[in-house]
């Protein structure tokens, strides 16, 4: 089993040992921030705290939260804690929910990132002998280069193809014998769809066996679909620019949550509305504190990502806590006719139907007092020729499934295969026109 771990000692250390180690790092990180960042020093001074007040792990709860807006207000380098000459790389978030946020890395931060990505890939079975088809975007987005650095550390052969030019991707995957695919889950679905259309059987014509999917929320249904259509084992991987990029947590082969690399990050869950600390097992917003960052350390970062933490031992032998699949971002939650709904719940409801392709859109309008909730779902090449009666029955089934989960009755619009846009990056699924905004 030793071969299962990239760093057995760290990945399997007892919780007591891990927490002791975390406390030492937390003390250092808070002191480091206090001494090197005006922003953190002021935040702590304002509430009368000094680094000496951090005596046990729970004392992290005394530290004020850091919000995306803190980083934006201090754009670009206001929260950097080293002379700018010490920085060796910069990234920026894709700005899914607003202005970009800068990620600034020292040599030490780059080493840690590569190490954590190597550990994450290795955990899922990626080895030196593999050929990794990396279709995450290269550039400012942390996805492409994050996977690149991790695979390089393992010694895996990397194909740095980035996103787009789908036909060419498939040809190269075939010709070069790719065994690992890395991309957003929405692009994986698009790749599978294009292969099937082109008469390529992933099972017989490709050597793919492992897939790494993340950067956006996806559901178990999409996993089932990707695994079946691409004939691979699909792993969920999570990260964000503010912490390092991908490599914060990853699924092990148990597929029962993503191990958070707690030797570098301290995790808490809070109620997103009140900020109250939640216990393990309770769903809430993830809040991370970096423990080893030197360029742009972050104390108690409000991710807005909603999940549940479990810290019971995992069958794989790793002791690091697991976060369950992200349900969505707290700011993605839609309130439709007073009901709280995450796009992932809609996805889960409709993706099990074989008559539908994996593309959908949620459209919210408010022509007068009441919300109008429409789901556009795409038919497959096979189902598009169904009779009118069959299509009406399908619409009713979709409506029923969504109703079972949300209690709402959406209008269902079925659209032709290929009618909804595909993306090589993060998909946009919700169009909320209720406030006159898209």
Specify whether the CB–CB gap between 232 and 208 falls below 8 A: yes
* Residue number, 262 or 305, with CB nearest to ligand ADP: 305
Q: Does 309 bind Zn ion (CB under 5 A)?
A: no
Specify whether the CB–CB gap between 110 and 88 falls below 8 A: yes
Which partner in Zn ion, ligand ADP, none is near 316 (CB below 5 to 8 A by kind)?
Zn ion
Q: Taking the complex as a whole, how short is the minimal distance between the CB of residue 245 and ligand ADP, in angstroms?
A: 7
Which 328-367 residues touch ligand ADP, going by CB under 6 A?
329
Q: Does 240 bind ligand ADP (CB under 6 A)?
A: yes
Which partner in ligand ADP, Zn ion, none is near 237 (CB below 5 to 8 A by kind)?
ligand ADP
What tokens does 44 get? 């702590």
Triad 253, 254, 260: Cα angle to 5°: 85
Between the alpha carbon of residue 171 and those of residues 130, 165, 181, 197, 219, the distances in Å are: 18, 10, 14, 14, 28
Please list, in sequence order, all residues whose beta carbon lies within 8 angstroms of the beta carbon of residue 307, skipping any fewer than 6 positions away: 269, 283, 284, 286, 323, 324, 325, 326, 327
User: What's the rounded Cα separation, in Å, for the pair 271 and 383?
Assistant: 43
Which 55-94 residues touch ligand ADP, going by CB under 6 A?
93-94
Q: Does 144 bind ligand ADP (CB under 6 A)?
A: no
Q: Does 307 bind ligand ADP (CB under 6 A)?
A: no
Q: Does 139 bind ligand ADP (CB under 6 A)?
A: no
Specify whether the CB–CB gap between 266 and 22 falls below 8 A: yes
Size of the site for Zn ion (CB under 5 A): 5
Size of the site for ligand ADP (CB under 6 A): 20
Q: Taking the complex as a whole, how short is the minimal distance between the CB of residue 24 and Zn ion, in angstroms?
A: 25
- For the four alpha carbons of 275, 279, 285 and 287, in that order, the dihedral sign comes to positive
Which partner in ligand ADP, Zn ion, none is near 394 (CB below 5 to 8 A by kind)?
none
Q: Does 318 bind Zn ion (CB under 5 A)?
A: yes
Q: Does 300 bind ligand ADP (CB under 6 A)?
A: no
Q: Does 429 bind Zn ion (CB under 5 A)?
A: no
Question: Interface with Zn ion by CB under 5 A: which range of 5-13, 177-185, 314-322, 375-383?
Answer: 314-322
* Residue number, 21 or 138, with CB nearest to ligand ADP: 138
Of the candidates 132, 158, 252, 398, which one interacts with Zn ion according to CB under 5 A?
Answer: 252
Q: Taking the complex as a whole, how short is the minimal distance between the CB of residue 94 and ligand ADP, in angstroms?
A: 4
Q: Does 214 bind ligand ADP (CB under 6 A)?
A: yes
Of the candidates 61, 95, 228, 281, which one interacts with ligand ADP according to CB under 6 A?
Answer: 95
Q: Does 303 bind ligand ADP (CB under 6 A)?
A: yes
User: What's the rounded Cα separation, in Å, for the pair 37 and 29?
Assistant: 11
Question: Interface with Zn ion by CB under 5 A: which range of 87-95, 192-200, 310-318, 428-436?
Answer: 310-318
Please list, in sequence order, all residues whose beta carbon lies within 8 angstroms of the beta carbon of residue 168, skipping any fewer than 6 positions away: none
Q: Quote the longest CA-to-CA distance of the chain.
A: 72
Q: Taking the complex as a whole, how short is the minimal distance between the CB of residue 116 and Zn ion, in angstroms?
A: 16
Reduced to 3 states (helix: H, G, I; strand: E, B; else coil), residue 169 is helix
The secondary structure of 13-73 as a DSSP string is --HHHHHHHHHHHHHHHHHHHHHH-HHHHHHHHHTT--GGG--SGGGGGGSPPB-HHHHHH
Question: Interface with ligand ADP by CB under 6 A: which range of 58-66, 104-112, 197-205, 215-223?
Answer: 215-223
User: What's the rounded Cα separation, in Å, for the pair 76 and 65?
Assistant: 19
Residue holding tokens 């029923």?
Answer: 400
- For the four alpha carbons of 193, 195, 196 and 198, in that order, the dihedral sign comes to positive
Which partner in Zn ion, ligand ADP, none is near 43 (CB below 5 to 8 A by kind)?
none
Specify whether the CB–CB gap between 126 and 119 falls below 8 A: no
Of the candidates 35, 254, 276, 381, which one interacts with Zn ion according to CB under 5 A?
Answer: 254
Binding positions for ligand ADP, rule: CB under 6 A:
93-97, 141, 214-217, 236-241, 303, 305, 326, 329
- Would you tell me which residues interact with Zn ion (CB under 5 A)? 252, 254, 314, 316, 318
């Amino acid at each position: 089993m030793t071969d299962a771990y990239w760093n057995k000692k760290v990945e399997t250390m007892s919780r007591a040992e891990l927490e002791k180690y975390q406390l030492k790092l937390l003390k250092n990180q808070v002191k480091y921030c206090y001494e090197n960042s005006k922003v953190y020093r002021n935040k702590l001074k304002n509430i009368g705290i000094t680094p000496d007040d951090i005596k046990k792990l729970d004392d992290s709860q005394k530290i004020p939260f850091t919000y995306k807006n803190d980083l934006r207000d201090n754009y670009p380098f206001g929260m950097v804690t080293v002379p700018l000459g010490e920085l060796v790389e910069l990234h920026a978030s894709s700005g899914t929910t607003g202005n970009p946020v800068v990620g600034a890395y020292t040599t030490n931060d780059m080493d840690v990132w590569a190490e954590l990505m190597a550990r994450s890939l290795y955990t899922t079975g990626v080895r030196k002998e593999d050929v990794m088809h990396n279709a995450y975007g290269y550039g400012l987005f942390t996805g492409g280069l994050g996977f690149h650095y991790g695979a390089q550390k393992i010694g895996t052969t990397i194909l740095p193809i980035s996103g787009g030019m789908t036909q060419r991707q498939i040809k190269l995957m075939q010709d070069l014998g790719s065994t690992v695919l890395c991309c957003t889950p929405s692009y994986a679905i698009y790749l599978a769809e294009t292969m099937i259309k082109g008469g390529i059987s992933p099972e017989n014509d490709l050597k793919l066996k492992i897939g790494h999917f993340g950067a956006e929320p996806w559901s178990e249904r999409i996993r089932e679909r990707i695994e079946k259509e691409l004939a691979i084992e699909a792993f969920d991987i999570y990260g964000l620019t503010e912490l390092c990029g991908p490599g914060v947590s990853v699924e092990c082969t148990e597929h029962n949550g993503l191990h958070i690399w707690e030797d570098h990050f301290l995790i808490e869950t809070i109620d997103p509305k009140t900020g109250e600390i939640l216990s393990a097992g309770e769903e809430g917003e993830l809040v991370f504190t970096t423990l080893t960052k030197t360029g742009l350390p972050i104390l108690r970062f409000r991710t807005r990502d909603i999940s549940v933490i479990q810290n019971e031992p995992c069958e794989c032998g790793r002791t690091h806590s697991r976060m369950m699949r992200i349900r969505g971002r707290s700011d993605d939650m839609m309130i439709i006719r007073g009901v709280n709904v995450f796009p992932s719940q809609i996805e889960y409801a409709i993706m099990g139907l074989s008559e539908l392709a994996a593309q959908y859109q949620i459209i919210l309008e408010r022509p007068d007092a009441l919300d109008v909730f429409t789901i556009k779902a795409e038919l497959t090449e096979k189902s598009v020729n169904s009779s009118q009666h069959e299509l009406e029955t399908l619409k009713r089934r979709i409506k029923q499934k969504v109703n079972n989960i949300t209690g709402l009755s959406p209008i269902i619009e079925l659209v032709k295969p290929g009618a909804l846009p595909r993306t090589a990056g993060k998909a946009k699924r919700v169009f909320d026109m209720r406030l006159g905004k898209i």
